[in-house]
């Protein structure tokens, strides 16, 4: 499995464009995360509250039904990367940038056909100082300025992820893992803003990926701290709409560019 992944990555033709010094470590950009796993799950949230949060006429949340749009919650287990192993969670809203048309759910399924589709990051958290620092210096997504515990408990057919802020419970998920995986190369646009400027970071993922099995048995609980309250204020659903698991992955993040 890993050999085929490495072969696909070699065909990609990676090369460093510049380096950034992060707490004494030289980090090449694009940044290569050589060995990782990731769980991404989509929930419905309030369309009105998402628009207020984005606060930009250039960004259109991808709507689904009623007055709802989507929120992606992603958990990363980075086992090998330039700043050492760490865990991360990310909240992002699927959006279209400078879109003249209203296109519902389709970009999620056919994102390769929509060049202006991507994931607008609204919050991130990591469990080490150096991992947070490399985000702040290279692609400054909005990130919590404190250590957030993200624990993975992987069984044969299941995965439990617990997120804590100190002693406070933030959220917990329990999912049945895919029964089948296939080798995928996918590109994702991720966005963030600084003031009135919008930036794009291109993520290319090479992975063994599968859709979550038996989504009805997915368990999702929220705590009561400030991060949990952000989700509750967005009226996040407790039952996911769709989910994916990258069992083994290599990721490459380009440097940011203004759009």
In the chain, domain spans: 2-258
Put simply, whether the predicted model's pTM sits higher than 0.85 gets the answer: yes
Question: pLDDT digits over 95-116, tens only?
Answer: 999 987 766 666 666 666 678 8
Q: Which fold has domain 2-258?
A: Acetoacetate decarboxylase-like (2.40.400)
- Reference 256, options 118, 85, 98; nearest CA is 118
**CA–CA gap between residue 70 and residue 240 (Å, rounded):** 10
174-218 per-position pLDDT tens digit: 999 999 999 999 999 999 999 889 999 999 999 999 999 888 889
Per residue in 126-159, pLDDT (tens digit) is: 999 999 999 999 999 999 999 999 999 999 899 9
Separation of CA 218 from chain center: 19
Residues 95 and 55: beta-carbon distance below 8 Å: no
């Amino acid at each position: 499995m890993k050999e085929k992944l490495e072969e696909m990555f070699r065909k990609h033709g990676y090369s460093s464009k510049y380096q950034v010094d992060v707490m004494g470590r030289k980090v090449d950009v694009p940044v290569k995360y050589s060995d990782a796993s990731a769980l991404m799950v989509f929930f419905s949230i309030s369309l009105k509250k998402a628009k207020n949060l984005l606060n930009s006429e250039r960004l259109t949340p991808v709507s689904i039904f009623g007055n709802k749009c989507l929120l992606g919650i992603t958990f990363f287990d980075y086992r090998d990367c330039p700043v050492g192993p760490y865990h991360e969670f990310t909240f992002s809203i699927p959006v279209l940038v400078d879109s003249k048309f209203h296109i519902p759910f389709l970009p999620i399924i056919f994102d390769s056909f929509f060049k202006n589709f991507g994931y607008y990051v609204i919050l991130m958290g990591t469990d080490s100082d150096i991992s947070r620092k490399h985000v702040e210096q290279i692609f400054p997504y909005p990130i919590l300025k404190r250590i957030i515990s993200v624990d993975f408990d992987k069984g044969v057919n299941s995965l439990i992820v617990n997120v804590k802020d100190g002693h406070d419970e933030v959220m917990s998920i329990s999912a049945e893992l895919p029964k089948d995986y296939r080798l995928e190369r996918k590109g994702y646009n991720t966005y963030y803003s600084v003031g009135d400027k919008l930036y794009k970071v291109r993520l290319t993922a090479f992975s063994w990926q599968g859709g979550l099995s038996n989504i009805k048995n997915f368990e999702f609980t929220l705590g009561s701290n400030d991060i949990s309250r952000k989700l509750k204020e967005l009226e996040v659903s407790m039952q996911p709409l769709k989910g994916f698991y990258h069992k083994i992955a290599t990721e490459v993040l380009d440097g940011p560019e203004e759009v």
